[in-house]
Amino acid sequence: MKKLLLALSFLSFTYAHAQKEPQKFEEYIISDGGVFGLTISPDSQTALWVKSKGKRDTLIIMESHKRNGKWMKPVVASFSSPNGSWKDIDPVFSPDGKTVLFQSTRSVENHPQRKGFDIWAVKKVKNGWSEPYHLGNTINTDASESFASMTKSGTIYFMKDNETQKGNSDLWVSRLVKGEYQKPENLGSPINTEERESNPYISPNEDYIIYFSSNPKGHGEIDLYISFNNKGKWSEPINLGKPINSELAEFCPFVHQKEKKLYFARQKKMENGLMSEDFYSVDFDVKKYQSKK
**What is the pLDDT tens value at each position of the chain, 293 positions in all?**
444 444 444 344 333 445 689 999 999 999 999 999 999 999 999 999 999 999 999 999 999 999 999 999 999 999 999 998 999 999 999 999 999 999 999 999 888 888 899 999 999 999 899 999 999 999 999 889 999 999 999 999 999 987 666 558 999 999 999 999 999 999 999 999 989 999 999 999 999 999 999 999 999 999 999 999 999 999 999 999 999 999 999 999 999 999 999 999 999 999 888 999 999 999 999 999 987 76
| Alpha carbon distance 190, 184 (integer Å) | 18
- CA geometry: angle 225, 16, 3, nearest 5 deg: 135
Amino acid 167: pLDDT: 56
With a threshold of 0.95, does the pTM exceed it?
no
Let me know: does 135 contact 154? Beta carbons within 8 Å. no
CB neighbourhood size of 161 (10 A): 20
Q: Which pairs with CB-CB distance under 8 Å and at least 24 residues apart come from 238-244?
A: 238/289, 238/292, 238/293, 239/215, 240/210, 240/289, 241/19, 242/19, 243/19, 243/20, 243/21, 243/22, 243/282, 244/19, 244/22, 244/282
| Alpha carbon distance 78, 66 (integer Å) | 17
Domain boundaries along the sequence of the chain: 22-290
Amino acid 165: pLDDT: 61
For 22-290, CATH gives 2.120.10.30
Let me know: does 80 contact 105? Beta carbons within 8 Å. no
| Alpha carbon distance 241, 246 (integer Å) | 8
Amino acid 293: pLDDT: 65
The DSSP secondary structure of 60-103, one letter per residue, reads EEEEEEEETTEEPPPEE-TTS-TT-SS-EEEEEE-TTSSEEEEE
**CB under 8 Å to 86, separation ≥6 — which residues?**
104, 105, 106, 107
Partners of 258 in the β-ladder: none
| Alpha carbon distance 271, 264 (integer Å) | 23
Amino acid 12: pLDDT: 40
Amino acid 14: pLDDT: 39
